[in-house]
Amino acid sequence: MLLDAFEWLLTPPGQQLLRIAGEAWADHDGDPVRAAAAVRRTEPDADRAAAALTQVQLRQRAVAKFGDDAALMYFTPDGLEQATRARVAAHRAARLAAAQPASVIDLGCGIGGDLVAMAREELVVAGIDTDPVRAAVARANLDALGLTGAVQVADATAIDLGGFAVTFCDPARRGARGRVFDVEGWVPPWSFVTALLAGAAVVKVAPGIPHDLLPEGVEAEWVSERGEVKEAALWSSYLATCRRRATVIGAGGLATVTEEDDPYDGAERPVRALGDFLHEPDGAVIRAGLVTAVAGIVDGGLLDPQIAYVTTDVAVRTPLARGYRVDEVLPYREKQLKAALRERGIGRLTIKKRGVDIVPEHLRQRLALRGDNEATLVLTRADGHGVAVLVTPLQ
């Protein structure tokens, strides 16, 4: 998207074209060719027409991340993809606000998702981005939502951060060839990130970041939303409250657990035989290495010291794990398993696996399921041996 075309969209004629583009998209059932033709009949300038229709499409896609705000906001395709989900950004902004910093600067603010969340917490915020279009979009999003903040085009590695109490940074981890796995290939690079973390800073990183890469004294917080691990946030020692934290954001609210909640932290892992119930810790809990904290919370044990399944004798509901009732232990060998599933008339099977070398889609094909019944099968290890367990999810 061209900067001139985007800035024109913010003018009264541009806003009118946006409304026309939205109506054309709806009238033509989302057909991009017919919708574009309708918009071009109103606006012959190809760049302006494309910019308006692109915003309509991106706003629809953005609902999953930004909810009702998406209808008022502006996006770029890559900016939307990389933006923090609104509920995750709101959680981080609330943590920052609790520290009562005088100001926060967002290095690499993108389309302004985190800026919006921080401004809503009434923090004094400023954002910078090297891309003029993304900076203009971030500025427009603050204005569209009636929020206060400053945005400018700048290089994060070349500005003086001394005037800001806290720095937030979300390094770009994608390049022209896709995802960048070498941390020194991030923009800004890892060496710059670690220097930030020596002061008062929060850095958003990929959830797969290795634990041994984390600087001393930093709190690493893994965050999931509705069962999907979205990111890890590194809180410098000035803002940290623990070493490892898992935060789970679900339909009913937010739950968090740290190593301080783990009665087995640094101790031998609690392993026990399969009970009447199985619990699968949330992905953020697993990434944070806090599976035994969940075992302590539900008064259970692990099926295997290296596998993230917790078993109990009673049903325990926790937002930190998905619970299942154990219905039956089936043969683990494929031929006998196939016969057992056919005997029970199971034609639709959800396969969950952990710690075993099995591709569920391939196994499902080989099982050649037949029948009207539906079931969930867990394939994992217990005390070093493969087990197959039929389970029913707890509601």
pLDDT per residue as tens digits for the range 272-308: 999 999 999 999 999 999 999 999 999 999 999 999 9
Please check the confidence at residue 244 and state whether its pLDDT lies above 80.
yes
Q: What is the spatial distance between Cα 333 and Cα 331, in angstroms, rounded to a whole number?
A: 6
Q: Which of 129-143, 172-186, 249-263 has the lowest mean pLDDT?
A: 172-186
Please check the confidence at residue 185 and state whether its pLDDT lies above 80.
no
* Amino acid identity for residue 118 in this structure: M
What average pLDDT does range 22-48 have in this prediction? 92
Work out the number of other CB atoms within 10 angstroms of the CB of residue 215.
16
- Predicted pLDDT of residue 268: 87
- Predicted pLDDT of residue 265: 85
Strands 150-153 and 125-129, by their bridges, are parallel
Q: How many CA atoms lie within 13 A of 316 on its CB side?
A: 21
Element (H, E) at 195: helix 190-196
CB-based burial label for 60 (10 Å; 0-12, 13-18, 19+): middle
For 173-208, letters b (16+ CB in 10 Å) and e give beeeeeebeebeebbbebebbbebbeebbbbbbbbe
* Ramachandran sector of residue 108 (left: φ over 0; alpha: ψ -120 to 50; beta: rest): left
- Predicted pLDDT of residue 69: 97
Q: What is the spatial distance between Cα 391 and Cα 188, in angstroms, rounded to a whole number?
A: 46
Domain ranges of the chain: 3-66, 80-241, 277-393
φ, ψ of residue 152 in degrees (nearest 5): -145, 165
- Is 55 in a helix, a strand, or coil? helix
Please check the confidence at residue 383 and state whether its pLDDT lies above 90.
no
Q: Which of 69-78, 203-212, 232-241 has the lowest mean pLDDT?
A: 203-212
Q: Which of 375, 229, 251, 219 is nearest to 308 (CA)?
A: 229
Q: Which of 256, 271, 265 is nearest to 308 (CA)?
A: 271
Contact between residue 151 and residue 110 where contact means Cβ atoms under 8 Å apart: no
| Confidence band, pLDDT 50/70/90 cuts, at residue 251 | confident
Please check the confidence at residue 138 and state whether its pLDDT lies above 90.
yes
Instruction: Give pLDDT tens digits for 328-362.
Output: 999 999 999 999 999 999 999 999 999 999 999 99
- Predicted pLDDT of residue 172: 77
What average pLDDT does range 185-200 have in this prediction? 90
Q: What is the spatial distance between Cα 221 and Cα 95, in angstroms, rounded to a whole number?
A: 12
- Please tell me the pTM assigned to this model: 0.91
Q: Across all residues in the chain, what is the average pLDDT?
A: 94
Query: Angle formed by the axes of helices 12-27 and 32-42, to 10°?
Result: 140
Instruction: Give pLDDT tens digits for 63-86.
Output: 999 999 999 999 999 999 999 999
Q: Which of 93, 90, 89, 61 is nearest to 75 (CA)?
A: 61
CB-based burial label for 271 (10 Å; 0-12, 13-18, 19+): middle
**The domain 80-241 is classified under which CATH number: 3.40.190.10, 3.40.50.150, 3.30.470.10, 3.80.30.20?**
3.40.50.150
Contact between residue 256 and residue 318 where contact means Cβ atoms under 8 Å apart: no
What average pLDDT does range 238-254 have in this prediction? 95
| Confidence band, pLDDT 50/70/90 cuts, at residue 178 | low
φ, ψ of residue 141 in degrees (nearest 5): -70, -40
- Predicted pLDDT of residue 184: 76
Contact between residue 200 and residue 166 where contact means Cβ atoms under 8 Å apart: yes
What average pLDDT does range 155-179 have in this prediction? 84
How many whole angstroms from its chain centre is CA 276?
32
- Is 73 in a helix, a strand, or coil? coil
Handedness of CA 333, 335, 336, 338 (dihedral sign): positive
What average pLDDT does range 188-217 have in this prediction? 93
Please check the confidence at residue 125 and state whether its pLDDT lies above 80.
yes
Which ranges of 83-151 would DSSP assign to H, the alpha helix? 86-98, 113-120, 132-144
Please check the confidence at residue 179 and state whether its pLDDT lies above 70.
no
Instruction: Give pLDDT tens digits for 222-236.
Output: 999 989 999 999 999
Contact between residue 339 and residue 332 where contact means Cβ atoms under 8 Å apart: no
| Confidence band, pLDDT 50/70/90 cuts, at residue 180 | low
Q: What is the spatial distance between Cα 264 and Cα 292, in angstroms, rounded to a whole number?
A: 6
Element (H, E) at 379: strand 373-382
- Contacts of 173-180 with CB under 8 Å at 24 or more apart are 173/205, 173/206, 174/78, 174/82
What average pLDDT does range 166-195 have in this prediction? 80
Please check the confidence at residue 88 and state whether its pLDDT lies above 80.
yes
More confident residue, 180 or 148: 148
Handedness of CA 13, 19, 23, 28 (dihedral sign): positive
Contacts of 160 (CB under 8 A, 6+ apart): none
